[in-house]
Amino acid sequence: MDDNRHSQRQPINVKRECNLGVFTFKHLDWTDHLASIVDISNGGVCIELNTHTEPGIVWFKDRIFGQHSGELLWTKQVGSQYRSGIRFMSLSHDVDQFVDKKITLPKQPEPLMDLQKIIAMQLASIKAEPV
């Protein structure tokens, strides 16, 4: 991995955590993570997680080194933790804003019950009550 590096990585001396989401290539699913930054360079960042993470597209909730997105290239276990290498990806301002807005929108809760069933139950209970 070291021989593919184009810029020198700088270790992080003070623990810094970051919130990120990963859209995996393998399963095409989104997972949220809290990670610690291990080291950083102009081209990417190494993070440490509690769980193994498959390669995919990464979205940093807060910019890291001026970047919102990257590609998670590898993950390896180090002790009880997992380290992942992320190469930064530059997006146009419009695409960056679009993705940020879509990701930060609150997710709509799943309906607990079908609306038609609720109405039918209400009508049935009204008909069953004596006047």
What are the residue boundaries of the structural domains of the chain, listed by start? 2-128
pLDDT: which is higher, 104 or 29: 29
Classified by CATH at the fold level, domain 2-128 comes out as Thrombin, subunit H (2.40.10)
Residue among 39, 31, 26 nearest 58 (CA): 31
Residue 103 is inside which H or E element, if any? helix 93-104
Residue 88 one-letter amino acid: F
Residue 86 is inside which H or E element, if any? strand 81-89
Residues 75-89: tens digit of each pLDDT: 999 999 999 999 999
Average pLDDT of the residues in 31-47: 93
- Mean pLDDT over all residues of the chain? 83
pLDDT of residue 129: 59
DSSP 6-35: SS--EE-SS--EEEEEEEETTT--EEEEEE
pLDDT: which is higher, 77 or 122: 77
Cβ atoms < 10 Å from Cβ of 84: 25
How much is the pTM? 0.70
Q: List b or e across 8-45, with b for residues whose CB sees 16 or more CB atoms inside 10 angstroms.
A: ebeeeeeeeebebebbeeeeeeeeebebbbbebbebbb
